[in-house]
Amino acid sequence: MSISLHSNAKILCTRFYHQYNQNLPSPLLFQLPDHLHFPPNYRLSAVVDHKRSSIVYCNKDGDSAFSDRGDAFTCVMKFGGSSVALAERMREVANLIQCFPEENPIIVLSAMGKTSNNLICAGEKAVSCGFTNMSEIEELSLIKDVHLRIVNELGIGVSVITEQLDELELLLNGIARLKELTPRTRDKLVSFGECMSTRVFAAYLNSIGIKAQQYDAFDIGFVTTDDFTNADILDATYPAVAAKLHADWISNKAIPVVTGFLGRFLLKSADPEEGCKSGEITALGRGGSDLTATVWKDVSGVLTCDPSIHPCAKPVPYLTFEEAAELAYFGALVIFLHS
């Protein structure tokens, strides 16, 4: 069965399974709510059995996009910045993926550690320091040192991120010359974090015998509005991404390792025959990679309080969707509000 890249669907499916799986035939097909905003010719249904909940991406006639489970992705695993902040953490993530050999996962990664923060700080400093004082930007040196150290510790070649590091320095030089950091340039700047983390992790998986393929989300069909720094995903994204990843999987069964909170906005041509073209890179907003997949957090679940404030925080065993949404609205960091 195929799985969508939409976290709400997985949450609702899992919740349905845990709440209603008793005394029901297996499997059970049911329709998910309309507010998931999928294209009008598609719907999401979930197949629930006693071992797992799987999501089927169907067209309006009810035909599954794929019929053979071996030819389809079964889950999306999203890992945040702290989960890939160190070489050892990346090894743990790889081990975790290996713990589920029955799955065909899509891996979604955030930037390593505080890389996104450092990229923004580097851009802001480039505006004020000027082109001749680029060496004063400590964050640029920190970003390079962290990534090169992790690459070396994982035993993969530095060439995997050389191009991205060179492009990053060129972009910062341009910002310093122009003394301007526009929202469009800011999105381009923060994109380097996830572009590098996914390349490093995919290369590591390949080095240990797990076949993987890196993807930049903005190159496989993630299209958004032109609201730079806080863009919204357009409906055209879902069938485009599903088709691209499935086609690649059929021809070459390598685990996709995808960037999280990035896309491109669509440029509408004045010539109707030309249609729309992909524009500049956009970001879904800070935390936006949590919108592209259900997140694998480095805590044991939604807790009764902030563990950094009270050490005796305990996991909450069950939450309704409404309760989770309310927690996110009032600032719970474990759940991304827009998801």
What pLDDT, in 10s, does the model give residues 179-193?
999 999 999 999 999
pLDDT given at position 136: 84
Residue 276: predicted pLDDT: 53
pLDDT at 222 over 50: yes
pLDDT score of 210? 96
The answer to pTM > 0.95 is no
What string of H, E and C letters represents the secondary structure of 7-45?
A: HHHHHHHHHHHHHHCCCCCCCEEEECCHHHCCCCCEEEE
For residue 56, what are the contacts with CB-CB under 8 A and spacing of at least 6? Answer: 1, 2, 29, 44, 45, 46, 47, 64, 65
- Asked whether the predicted pLDDT for residue 54 surpasses 50, the reply is no
Burial of 40 (0-12, 13-18, 19+ CB in 10 A): exposed
pLDDT tens per residue, range 192-210: 999 999 999 999 999 999 9
- Reference 11, options 314, 291, 259; nearest CA is 291
Q: How far apart are CA 325 and CA 338, in angstroms?
A: 9
* Pairing of the two strands 212-215 and 255-259: parallel
User: Among 76-80, 155-159, 207-211, which stretch is predicted with the lowest mean pLDDT?
Assistant: 76-80
What fold characterizes domain 80-298? Carbamate kinase (3.40.1160)
* pLDDT > 80? residue 29: no
Q: Which stretches of 36-114 are DSSP H helices?
A: 87-98
Q: What pLDDT was estimated at residue 147?
A: 98
pLDDT above 60 for 292: no
The C-alpha atoms of residue 260 and residue 197 are separated, in whole angstroms, by 10
Which of 87 and 73 is assigned the larger pLDDT? 87
Residue for token digits 């249904």? 45
Instruction: State the pLDDT at residue 333.
Output: 65
Distances (CA, A) of 73 to 243, 251, 274: 12, 14, 33
Terminal CA-to-CA distance of the chain, rounded, Å? Answer: 23
Domain limits of the chain? 1-72, 80-298, 301-339
